[in-house]
């Protein structure tokens, strides 16, 4: 990536016979927010801890700015870190918690007072300096943990699943605040998360990880719309996986249905098994779907109400063993008066399908 601030090359970490990270290489652009996204056990937290110097890699190098920090102890690296559990000192006031790193660096007393006041105002809690952590809510404590991490003006901010311990409403509110603060300060930030929505809404770049390796790096739009692997397509967002057989000339057979143009520019011999990936919101329904070249009759099998939108499971008449998810707004559902068993027509747009 251009203007890289942090470069990882060939990072490998083993715990006995288990390889937690397998030759991971990555460039993090200066001033960006990058998320490490993946399921539990994929290696994302281990990679963050290696960057922080809390774990030591078996192989590979780390360069931050123009400085090789591969073997430096954590105390000599330039970063601030926020943990999932807040990790505030319960016996210290909020002022002393935020000032902790500045005191260790022996900053002047007036400079400490000014910096702490600035940061408490920045995180929206200017009047809690005399309180103790136990007197604050979870969201407020995480804001204080963020202020403490930023107190020494680090070049790198590390966030280890900072929102996962909060309730849904507070998590939504705080992720917007963290993103706005990061953009305002321009600090290069790496955040570990397993929450897809969190990664998609906050990140400049997403690093999708699986089994100690990077599956794909890209913008949220690229990760969602152009998944590079079947794992990425399946892990990020909902997706229909359609099992088909190539028929030649870009066509595939799905049960008794033949879809034209589904393979795009892919050249596969007739009879080759193939899997097509199609997002639920790309499936057309009734209306223009009836005129679509890949139109097919279907029936409603299940309706899941999710607030602003609904997930409708439909069964294709020609491929009853391959139900499809269709994403509809609540208003569309009401307008069409869909109910279980209702007949409808769907269209499968080949330009939205990906062959993986």
Mean of pLDDT values over 211-235: 96
Q: How confident is the model at residue 2 (pLDDT cuts 50, 70, 90)?
A: low
pTM, to two decimals: 0.91
Judged against a pLDDT cut of 70, whether residue 63 lies above it is answered with: yes
Domains 4-235 and 240-355 share a fold: no
SS3 328: strand
pLDDT tens digits along 160-210: 999 988 888 899 999 999 999 999 999 999 999 999 999 999 999 999 999
CATH superfamily for domain 4-235: P-loop containing nucleotide triphosphate hydrolases (3.40.50.300)
Please tell me the predicted confidence (pLDDT) of residue 307: 85
How deeply is 272 buried, as exposed, middle or buried, from its count of CB atoms within 10 A (0-12, 13-18, 19+)? Answer: middle
CA angle (225, 226, 232) in 5-degree steps:
95
pLDDT tens digits for range 232-267: 999 999 999 999 999 988 889 998 888 888 787 778
Instruction: Report the chain's mean pLDDT, rounded to a whole number.
Output: 93
**pLDDT exceeds 60 at position 271:** yes
* Cα 91 to the center of its chain, rounded Å: 35
CB half-sphere exposure, 191, CA atoms < 13 A? 29
* pLDDT for 166: 87
Distance, first Cα to last Cα, the chain: 25
Q: What pLDDT score was predicted for residue 113?
A: 95
Instruction: Look at residues 116, 113, 125, 114 and name the one whose alpha carbon lies nearest to residue 148.
Output: 116
Residue 1 confidence (pLDDT) above 80? no
If 0-12 CB within 10 Å is exposed, 13-18 middle and 19+ buried, where does residue 321 land?
exposed
From the candidate CATH numbers 1.10.150.170, 3.20.20.70, 2.40.50.100, 1.10.3720.10, the one assigned to the domain spanning 240-355: 2.40.50.100
Q: Residue for token digits 């190098």?
A: 61
Report which of 190, 100, 108 is spatially closest to residue 148, judged by C-alpha positions: 100
| Structural domain boundaries in the chain | 4-235, 240-355
pLDDT of residue 295: 86
């Amino acid at each position: 990536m251009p203007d890289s601030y942090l470069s990882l090359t060939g990072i490998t970490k083993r715990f006995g016979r288990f390889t937690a990270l397998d030759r991971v290489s990555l460039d993090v652009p200066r001033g960006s927010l990058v998320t490490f996204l993946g399921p539990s056990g994929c290696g994302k937290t281990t990679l963050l801890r290696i960057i922080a110097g809390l774990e030591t890699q078996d192989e590979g190098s780390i360069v931050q700015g123009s400085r090789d920090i591969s073997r430096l102890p954590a105390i000599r690296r330039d970063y601030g870190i926020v943990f999932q559990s807040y990790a505030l000192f319960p016996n210290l006031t909020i002022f002393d918690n935020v000032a902790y790193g500045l005191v260790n660096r022996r900053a002047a007393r007036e400079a400490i007072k000014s910096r702490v006041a600035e940061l408490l105002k920045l995180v929206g809690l200017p009047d809690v300096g005399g309180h103790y952590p136990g007197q604050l809510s979870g969201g407020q404590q995480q804001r204080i943990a963020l202020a403490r991490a930023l107190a020494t003006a680090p070049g790198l901010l590390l966030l280890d699943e900072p929102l996962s311990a909060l309730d849904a409403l507070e998590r939504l509110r705080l992720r917007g605040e963290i993103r706005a603060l990061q953009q305002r300060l321009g600090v290069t930030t790496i955040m570990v998360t397993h929450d897809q929505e969190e990664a998609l809404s906050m990140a400049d770049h997403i690093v999708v990880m699986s089994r100690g390796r990077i599956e794909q790096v890209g913008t949220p739009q690229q990760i969602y719309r152009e998944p590079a692997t079947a794992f990425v397509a399946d892990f990020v967002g909902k997706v229909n996986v359609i099992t088909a057989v190539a028929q030649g000339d870009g066509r595939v057979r799905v049960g008794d249905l033949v879809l034209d143009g589904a393979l795009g520019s892919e050249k596969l011999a007739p009879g080759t098994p193939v899997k097509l990936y199609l997002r639920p919101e790309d499936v057309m329904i009734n209306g223009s779907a009836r005129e679509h070249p890949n139109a097919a009759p279907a029936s409603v099998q299940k309706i899941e109400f999710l607030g602003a939108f609904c997930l409708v499971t439909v069964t294709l008449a020609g491929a009853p063993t391959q139900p499809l998810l269709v994403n509809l707004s609540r208003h569309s559902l009401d307008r069409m008066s869909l109910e279980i068993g209702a007949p409808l027509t769907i269209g499968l747009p080949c330009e939205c399908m990906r062959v993986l």
